[in-house]
């Protein structure tokens, strides 16, 4: 048990390092897209460690408690995440719903802490974050419903292994409509443009983050990186057949994240109600028709 937990902590740490590096690389990629040089690939690490080392202010115990709960919840969630089908801390217990709901503890902690700061901009940011969540989560869950129904398991490794069988395609291909929905939802999840309304730096002063500095902000940065790690790897496992080994996982992970970044770098920002309308128009229709076609008619490529 202890080894499993230590392994889980290792996964979380691996995720943090991986995502932070890839995020750094991506800042360079996006920089090139926008015809500038971009920072060094390890810039993100520098930012985080600088923040952690600084002395900052607090707005009361809930402000700190929320940050701890946020980071703790996310680390806890990441500990369940499989990297390959064999590299998983708690085999058989990597249930899809744990990722969806345990991650929410972290979100809730952060939202709580942000509201506890007493800054209305933070509350607006939280409101937008939750509204965005309502938008992207439902189409995504419907696609996952289809996947679970087809594979007969809600274990993430189980789903990945199902796709690795010779007779089956990756769900990205097997369920093309669902795959597209998955990509769009993933962009919403990791807050890429056009769905980055809740951060909206120039508009609501970074929203939930507005009051943070020093170690609290540093911890929230860590939390953010791990969150992205969870969401992107979830996508890799659900739609891209998981990974047989770590290298393959990193490659897939990098490709997904970079693609999303490149897509998002050419978009503007939706208004919050546009985000909701967008997701409740095409993605949900596509998700539902995909589910119907796959479950009731049995048409799976």
Partner 1 sequence: MASIELIIVFTALAGVLSYFVGRLNKVAGSVVTILASMFVFVSVAYFGYNNELIHSTEFLPYVTFSVTYLGLFFAILVTFIFAMVSFFNPFFVEKYKYPALYSMLYLLSLAGVLGVFFTNNFMSLFFFFEFVVWTSLFLIPMGRSKRAASSYYAFSTVGSFALLFAIFIMREASGTFNIVSSMASVNGTEAAIVSALLAVAAFAKLGAFPLNVWLPRVLGNSPDAISAVFSGGLEKLGAFVAVLALVKLAPFGYVVDATGLAASQYVIAALGALTIVFGTLMAIRQDDAKKLLAYSSMSNGGYILVALTIASSASVSGGLYHVVAHALASTAAFLAIGAVSRITGTTKMSELGGMIHKMPVTYLVYLIAIISMAGIPPMGGFISKWLIFQAVIDKGMILVAVAVFFGSIGSFLYVFRPLAALFLGQELPQHREVSKEAPFFMLVPMVILSGLIIYTGVLPNFFLGFINNVLTEVGVTPLVIGSYTVTGTNGVLQPALIASVFGVGVLIAFIIFIVLKKSRKVGLMDTYTAGNFIYTEELMHYSLDFYAPLERLYEKYINITKDFYKRLENKVVDLGRLMKYYFFTNKPEIMVLWIIIIMGIILWGDIL
Q: Whose CA is closest to 239, among 182, 282, 298, 279?
A: 182
As a whole number of angstroms, the distance between CA 193 and CA 122 comes to: 19
116-155: which residues touch partner 1 (CB under 8 A)?
116-121, 123-124, 126-127, 130-131, 133-134, 137-138, 141-142, 145, 148-149, 151-155
Residues 246-275 that bind partner 1 (CB under 8 A): 271-273
In this chain, which of 211, 225, 242, 253 binds partner 1, going by CB under 8 A?
211
Q: CB neighbours of 274 closer than 8 A, spacing ≥ 6?
A: none
Site for partner 1 in 144-203 (CB under 8 A): 145, 148-149, 151-155
Looking at beta carbons only, is 122 or 256 nearer to partner 1? 122
**Which range touches partner 1 (CB under 8 A), out of 36-44, 48-56, 236-244, 247-255?**
48-56
Burial class (CB in 10 A: 0-12, 13-18, 19+), 214: middle
Please, which residue, 45 or 254, has the CB nearer to partner 1?
45
Q: Which is nearer to partner 1, 42 or 93 (CB)?
A: 93
Beta carbons within 8 Å of 286's beta carbon, 6+ residues apart? 139, 177, 178, 180, 181
Q: Identify the bridge partners of residue 155 per DSSP, sorted by sequence position.
A: 95
According to CB under 8 A, which residues from 61 to 120 bind partner 1? 61-62, 64, 67-77, 79-80, 90, 92-93, 95-98, 101-102, 104-105, 107-108, 111-112, 115-120
CB nearer partner 1, residue 127 or residue 262: 127
Distance CA 134, CA 19 (A): 25
Total residues in contact with partner 1, by rule CB under 8 A: 91
Only one residue has tokens 């996964």, namely 11
Nearest to 185 by CA among 221, 149, 222, 238: 238
Residue with Cβ nearer partner 1 (30 or 284): 284
Q: Which is nearer to partner 1, 236 or 291 (CB)?
A: 291
Side-chain-side CA neighbours of residue 145 (13 Å):
16
Residue 194 to residue 244: CA distance in whole angstroms: 33
Calpha distance 39→232 (Å, rounded):
23
Task: For residue 220, state whether it binds partner 1 (rule: CB under 8 A).
Answer: no
Could you say whether residue 230 binds partner 1 (CB under 8 A)? no
Q: Which of 40, 50, 54, 281 binds partner 1 (CB under 8 A)?
A: 54
Q: Does 300 bind partner 1 (CB under 8 A)?
A: no
């Amino acid at each position: 048990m202890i080894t499993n937990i230590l392994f889980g902590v290792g996964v979380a740490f691996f995720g943090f390092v991986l995502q932070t590096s890839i995020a750094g690389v991506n800042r360079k990629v996006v920089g090139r897209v926008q015809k500038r040089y971009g920072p060094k690939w390890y810039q993100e690490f520098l930012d985080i460690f600088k923040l952690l080392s600084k002395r900052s202010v607090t707005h009361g115990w809930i402000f700190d408690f929320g940050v701890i709960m946020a980071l703790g919840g996310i680390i806890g969630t990441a500990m369940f995440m499989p990297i390959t089908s064999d590299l998983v801390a708690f085999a058989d217990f990597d249930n899809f719903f744990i990722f969806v709901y345990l991650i929410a503890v972290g979100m809730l902690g952060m939202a709580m802490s942000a509201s506890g700061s007493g800054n209305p901009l933070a509350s607006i940011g939280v409101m937008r974050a939750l509204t965005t969540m309502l938008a992207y989560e439902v189409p995504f869950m419907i696609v996952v419903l289809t996947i679970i129904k087809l594979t007969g398991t809600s274990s993430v490794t189980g789903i990945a292994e199902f796709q690795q069988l010779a007779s089956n395609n990756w769900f990205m291909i097997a369920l093309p409509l669902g795959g597209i929905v998955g990509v769009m939802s993933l962009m919403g999840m990791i807050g890429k443009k056009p769905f980055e309304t809740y951060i909206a730096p120039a508009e609501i002063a970074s929203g939930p983050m507005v009051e943070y500095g020093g170690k609290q902000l540093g911890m929230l940065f860590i939390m953010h990186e791990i969150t992205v790690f969870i969401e992107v790897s979830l996508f890799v496992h659900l739609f891209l057949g998981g990974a047989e080994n770590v290298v393959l996982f990193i490659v897939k992970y990098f490709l997904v994240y970079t693609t999303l970044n490149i897509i998002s770098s050419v978009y503007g920002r939706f208004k919050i109600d546009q985000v909701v309308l967008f997701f409740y128009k095409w993605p949900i229709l596509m998700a539902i028709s995909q589910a119907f076609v796959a479950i009731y008619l049995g048409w799976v490529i």
